[in-house]
Amino acid sequence: MEKCEAAARDIRRETLNHHVSAWHLDLASLKSIREFAAKITEEKERVHILINNAAVMRCPHWTTEDGFEMQFGVNHLGHFLLTNLLLDTLKASAPSRIVNLSSLAHVAGHMDFDDLNWEERTYDTKAAYCQSKLAVVLFTKELSRRLQGTGVTVNALHPGVARTELGRHTGMHSSAFSSFTLGPIFWLLVKSPQLAAQPSTYLAVAEELEGVSGKYFDGFKEKPPAPEAEDEEVAQRLWAESARLVGLEVPSVRGQRLPE
């Protein structure tokens, strides 16, 4: 929260916009997500833009407060629940937009519905990350279908590699070779956080993207995602399983709004 509050202060100072707040949200806790969403709906009449940006990457075999594998739980399930809890407010605020941060790594992902939480398999932190980011694109596709005609759009995005702490578990600096040889090359190729945030901003506000929904963007350009990411049956199965895991009811009629 200290970093978040400091960022909010910087934005208020630079923009002279005092309507910038820092609120606590733990995407590894369903309780925290529900409390955050309740606060939003209670205190904010409108939500025009929701950018689901948070993520963990290639962490050890950790679990969330509710027992989900950490990367699947935070990168997908946490955003899935948060978005669903805010859907009524987003619809009431239409036209509104949702931007889901995925990754190019989704192309290497596969949805293993027999073991989504890595309880049976030997844990592979890279494969778990790729699965979580594939889930984000599938969620985007199915949510877009459900939102047709509501004035709410949703798109998935690979923003590029940013110079942040996201990769702290990847082992880039765990050896002298990677730190002193590969490290400098890596840092020359990655984007600053400011540059990496530009595609998210573009998807959130660009006038030419009005009405565009269910797409995958690599930076500023729309591109086709991995074939599995466009499988409607996989997307619908993931939605149903995700709803079950986070405690949302699955509608009995195709396309019906999820109850609160």
**What six digits make up the tokens of 50?**
């929701």
H/E element, 216: strand 216-218
Q: Which of 132, 127, 101 is nearest to 217 (CA)?
A: 101
**DSSP code string of 71-120:** HHIIIIIIHHHHHHHHHHHHHHT-SEEEEEE--GGGGG----TT-TT-SS
- What is the distance between the alpha carbons of residues 138 and 113, in angstroms, rounded to a whole number? 13
| pTM passes above 0.75 | yes
Q: Which of 134, 133, 144, 58 is nearest to 98 (CA)?
A: 144
H/E element, 200: helix 198-205
- What is the pLDDT tens value at each position of the chain, 260 positions in all? 999 999 999 999 999 999 999 999 999 999 999 999 999 999 999 999 999 998 898 779 989 999 999 999 999 999 999 999 999 999 999 999 999 999 999 999 999 999 999 999 999 999 999 999 999 999 999 999 999 999 999 999 998 665 555 555 565 544 444 444 445 544 455 667 778 789 999 999 999 999 999 999 999 999 999 999 999 999 999 999 999 999 997 654 444 444 44
**What six digits make up the tokens of 7?**
């960022």
Q: Is 51 helix (H, G, I), strand (E, B) or coil?
A: strand
Residue pair 139/87 in contact (Cβ under 8 Å)? The answer is no
The DSSP bridge partners found for residue 191 are 162
Q: Which amino acid is at 109?
A: G
Q: Which of 236, 241, 228, 242 is nearest to 255 (CA)?
A: 236
Q: Which amino acid is at 103?
A: S
129 is catalytic: yes
